[in-house]
Structure 1
């Protein structure tokens, strides 16, 4: 076990969590991609790229369950880094097939990439505001919903909940159409589409 790398990964994702919690408390997290949050994500992405170049995917045997999950969360949050997410998906798939990563985390990364590219999700893990602003619903839809329960079960995800309550303290955007247009423009600008 590489305890130093494990500690680094956990520390990096803790910085992400602390920043997210602070920005959520004052409400600014929910008004687009906050520049401070983006800076944390980009810094962590750069750090993880160095780890990948040095040791490959940091799986459970190398960094423990919590360290491996921290590495996945760093990738999952690096939404402004399409090449990193796309490049890590096969690494994470291989790690999961070897018992070195959680298959549910692979599913969530795949869905994050698909949604960012404007494609249907496979597992229904990515949510956004409903049209009425009362709940969170799957973004862009889910392919083959009739077999969704089986796909989710196969990777260890719980049964699908189609409408969820919003995060604590989050308010729906005043203009959902404008927010979606802004998200689309951002996705094009950073290279998702």
Structure 2
């Protein structure tokens, strides 16, 4: 079964909610969570039980263990861990009621299921009485439920026509969720834990975190979250995640090591480049986050800490590689081998913090000139891609567009968007 980064985030989120347990125990729990996500439930069960023998589960761990036992058709153990989750503070009744992992429990032991769900609904009602914006929390949580329902449905579907239909439904759901999320943030700013609860705030963050096509919106949400940094009304780990997400979307190195490289098979292979990687665990500790060697286990790969010499060597190697690709691109430009120019600049653009703003502007001008000569759309496209990134970084000005003759023939949709916003 394939799984989405959003599901990974749901799994990774419990450090802030429930604290940081013993290191060896946390490693076991992280590995169990990864196996659970892959529906390797027998291995997940074994690892969870080993972890719980060291220290009792927190609410999310108990809930995940219940899911694993439910997949193993062990209704007794599934019920046992659901009761523990509820006793320790699990409050997302809507999630529980729609969770497909518990289909077997619903069908084989309806009496037990009714007892569990009755407790969950009552606990949620009690929580809502303590919140300032309970209906906002409800709406946020429902958006995430709808999102996950469609994505799980797509994973299980085998027919191409139905997959295409579900993809359109997901796209429509994403658009609707984005509009609703923007409306919430425009009206309330960044809702605090006392407003929508920890789960509501976490789910709101998830919706923002995955709005990668709307980077200005992510930046706005990040700026609102940062106002509450260091208080008990914000999730520091979520703040770190979104900060890194924005940095990566601006083609910078990440700072806290929250973002991973995803392979074509849906598996994570390592972390995206990290600025001053030798110091990253210190930064993570300040935010109440686990070291990378433990966090990586949640994604199914091992990580070894590096020292300052190794970190500097990595950054220098990336800088040199980027410079060589730019030099190659410019050499090919001189002999009008434009396709190779495109390929090498495209490679250079994949290095986080590899190209300076000035180098990206020069590339945008160069490709605009190539487009004016060849009228091939791909050159207009890469030119406006560079310009859009500069716009997002707040480097580009209206004067830069207006005063550069090469840009005057660009009528690419993204160029018009940039020009309009700068005006």
Fold-level similarity (TM above 0.5):
yes
1:48 corresponds to = 181
Alignment deviations for residues 50-86 of structure 1 (CA, whole Å, 9 cap, x no partner): 1122221111011111111111111001111111101
1:8 equivalenced with 2:139 (yes/no): yes
Correspondence for 2:247: 114
Structure ranking higher on relative contact order (CA contacts 8 Å, 6+ apart): 1
Task: Give the greater-gyration-radius structure (CA).
Answer: 2
- Quickly say closer, same or farther: Cα 1:26–1:122, change in 2 above 3 A: farther
1:23–1:83 Cα change, 3 Å: same
Q: 1:160 to 1:35 in 2, by over 3 A?
A: farther
Q: TM-score, normalised by structure 2?
A: 0.36
1:159 maps to which residue? 291
* TM-fit CA distance, 1:19: 2.2
Could you list the per-position Cα deviations for residues 22-63 of structure 1 after superposition, in whole angstroms to 9, with x for gaps in the alignment?
Answer: 2334489xxxxx554443333212101111222211110111
- For these two proteins, the number of residue pairs brought into alignment is 171
Partner SS, residue 257 of structure 2 = coil
Unaligned runs of 5+ in 1: 29-33, 167-179
The alpha carbon displacement at 1:135 in A equals 4.6
TM normalised by structure 1 equals 0.75
CA RMSD, 1 decimal? 3.3
Aligned CA distance change for structure 1 residues 144 and 94 (closer, same or farther; 3 Å) = same
The structure in which a higher percent of residues are helix is 2
- The unaligned stretches of length 5 or more in structure 2 are 1-131, 161-166, 302-345, 351-380, 391-423
Q: For 1:25-174, list aligned pairs within 5 A.
A: 25-26=156-157, 36-129=169-262, 135-139=268-272, 141-161=273-293, 164-165=299-300
The CA distance in 2 between the partners of 1:135 and 1:56, in whole Å, is: 33
